[in-house]
Amino acid sequence: MNDSLRIGLAGLGTVGTGVLDELADHGGLIADRCGRTVKVTAVSARTRSKDRGGHDLTGFQWFDDPAEMAQSDGIDVLVELIGGDEGPARACVEAALKAGKHVVTANKALLARHGVALAKLAEGAGVALNYEAAVAGAIPVIKTLRENLAGNAVTRVFGILNGTCNFILTKMENEGRDFADVLKEAQDLGYAEADPTFDIGGFDTAHKLVILTSLAFGTEVSLEDIFIEGIEDITLADIRNASSMGYKFKLLGVANRTEDGIEQRVHPALVRAGSPIADVGDAFNAVVVEGDFSSTLFLEGRGAGGHPTASSVVADICDIARGSRVPVFGLPADKLKPFRRAAMRAHAGGYYVALDMLDRPGELAGVAKAFADEGVSIESVIQRGPAMSRSKVGADIAPFVLITHDTLESAMRAALDKIEAQGHVASRPRMVRIERL
């Protein structure tokens, strides 16, 4: 097949212009490897006049409406880089699939909300829906799960899926700076948006994790069935406490197969310093997949940025150019099992708990009793520094850190609720899972 593969590019931001860069710089190499030329013939964006790094768009057909471009006879593949789970992004992807066009997207939110419906459209039309760039940037985790591990039963997939959070936690640890200060730097560098909630609240990681869950376990995508907790409450004191005990903080997305169903969770965790996942720093991502025949695979790389993400977009385009097409979530959409949510279970490493205890006689005994009543065994208790300034209830505060033995999530939450209700602490206890990974 020697005819050109014609691309309609919807979205000309950082990733879209990165795709133009890669096709311009490596067009000949891509043609040799794919057996045909790949060229952009049409583009769509919100404004024509915006400076796009010197790219000349006059040679492309311009569409104000990406859904109109998606149905154009002048393209074979729609590349959707608009973002968002509704609006123009959803409209143009659905239009392309209904028109029998292949689709490449980097849109995690769209797939997390509408992935199964879009998979059915693609498979019904006999076209590809590729989305390597939607999860972990340049890391080829989608292809790994969808193709390379096709003969494996995956038991667990987890990782660092948000570079902004990893950047913030790494900076806090290495430079001794508080959360707000590092967050502002992340915003200044373009890692975090003006409203950073989507990143630091864990929602970006959640969108990516539900996609990996579907691929790993053959279930329908289910964004509603995921536990989400962000890093907003992690303090510099927590970072220092963890470091002194040989741990590092990471925001993890974890999906486990259990007898009761699938456990999906996003939350900060303590991981042992020196472990592979702990050593992933700055804005890098890492994904770990555990399969029965493959054993453990560890993939690390840049999880965001124009050129790394564009690399995955172009890889998806090349698969289409070669004539490769696989089921969207590894299995035909009608064979995906309904998602069955498992309750949060015991965690192998126990829990870290930070308490701002009121410095009064009997408070520590009251805390110990609350844990004992719920069957939670305390491994160690560490007091961090002298009593702090007086609290709003008129008592000095003594900061304590507790480490528990393995226990149930429900027992931990019940004990902490009791400790707070009984007035042993000046603020809500901070609980972080310790993960053995």
Query: Residue 388's pLDDT is what?
Result: 56
Assess whether 104 and 156 both reside in one domain: no
Query: Residue 197's pLDDT is what?
Result: 94
Q: Where are the alpha helices (DSSP H) in 218-305?
A: 236-244
Query: Residue 386's pLDDT is what?
Result: 57
Query: Residue 213 burial (CB < 10 Å; 0-12/13-18/19+)?
Result: buried
Instruction: List the one residue out of 327, 368, 351, 313 whose CA is nearest residue 435.
Output: 351
* 338 part of a folded domain: no
CATH number of residue 282's parent domain: 3.30.360.10
Domain count for the chain, please give it: 3
Between CA 106 and CA 116 the distance in angstroms is: 16
* 426 part of a folded domain: yes
Pairing type for strands 5-10 and 38-44 reads parallel
Pairing type for strands 247-258 and 227-228 reads unpaired
Mean pLDDT (whole number) for 102-115: 97
Of 109, 134, 159, the one marking the end of a domain is 134
Length of the chain: 437
Query: Residue 265 burial (CB < 10 Å; 0-12/13-18/19+)?
Result: buried
Rounded CA Rg of the chain: 24
CATH number of residue 28's parent domain: 3.40.50.720
Assess whether 196 and 240 both reside in one domain: yes
Assess whether 66 and 155 both reside in one domain: no
* 307 part of a folded domain: no
For the ranges 287-301, 312-326, 370-384, the lowest mean pLDDT is seen at 370-384
Between CA 40 and CA 43 the distance in angstroms is: 8
* 233 part of a folded domain: yes
Kindly state the helix (H) or strand (E) to which residue 27 belongs, with its residue range.
helix 14-34
Write the DSSP symbol of residue 147. Answer: I
Assess whether 158 and 215 both reside in one domain: yes
Torsion of CA 369, 373, 379, 385, to 10 degrees: -30
Query: Residue 214's pLDDT is what?
Result: 97
Between CA 279 and CA 177 the distance in angstroms is: 19
Could you identify the residue written with the tokens 């509408």? 114
Alpha carbon of residue 90 to chain centroid: 20
Mean pLDDT (whole number) for 79-91: 97
% of the chain with per-residue pLDDT over 70: 97
What angle is formed at CA 393 by the lines to CA 390 and CA 395, rounded to 5 degrees? 40
* 172 part of a folded domain: yes
Between CA 131 and CA 271 the distance in angstroms is: 30
pLDDT digits (tens, 9 = 90+) for 4-36: 999 999 999 999 999 999 999 999 999 999 999
pLDDT digits (tens, 9 = 90+) for 226-268: 999 999 999 999 999 999 889 999 999 999 998 889 999 999 9
Assess whether 223 and 120 both reside in one domain: no
pLDDT digits (tens, 9 = 90+) for 112-134: 999 999 999 999 999 999 999 99
Quick check: 302 pLDDT over 50?
A: yes
Residues noted as catalytic = 208
Assess whether 288 and 361 both reside in one domain: no
Query: Residue 224's pLDDT is what?
Result: 93
Mean pLDDT score of the chain, rounded to an integer? 92
The domain containing residue 418 runs over which residues? 351-434
Query: Residue 389's pLDDT is what?
Result: 53
Q: How many CB atoms lie within 10 A of CB 57?
A: 15
Query: Residue 381's pLDDT is what?
Result: 84
Query: Residue 317's pLDDT is what?
Result: 98
What band does 1 get if pLDDT is binned at 50, 70 and 90?
Answer: very low
Write the DSSP symbol of residue 145. Answer: I
pLDDT digits (tens, 9 = 90+) for 193-235: 889 999 999 999 999 999 999 999 999 999 999 999 999 999 9
Between CA 147 and CA 104 the distance in angstroms is: 17
Mean pLDDT (whole number) for 357-379: 90
What angle is formed at CA 84 by the lines to CA 80 and CA 90, rounded to 5 degrees? 60
pLDDT digits (tens, 9 = 90+) for 377-427: 998 888 766 555 555 555 688 888 989 999 988 899 999 999 999 999 988
Assess whether 224 and 265 both reside in one domain: yes
426: left (phi over 0), alpha (psi -120 to 50) or beta: alpha
CATH number of residue 384's parent domain: 3.30.70.260
Query: Residue 305's pLDDT is what?
Result: 86
Assess whether 216 and 290 both reside in one domain: yes
Assess whether 97 and 229 both reside in one domain: no
What band does 2 get if pLDDT is binned at 50, 70 and 90?
Answer: low
Residue with more model confidence, 191 or 420 = 420
Assess whether 155 and 117 both reside in one domain: no
What band does 348 get if pLDDT is binned at 50, 70 and 90?
Answer: confident
Query: Residue 11's pLDDT is what?
Result: 96
Between CA 100 and CA 114 the distance in angstroms is: 18
Query: Residue 38's pLDDT is what?
Result: 97
pLDDT digits (tens, 9 = 90+) for 130-171: 999 999 999 999 999 999 999 999 999 999 999 999 999 999
Are the CB atoms for 397 and 358 separated by under 8 Å? yes
Mean pLDDT (whole number) for 69-78: 97
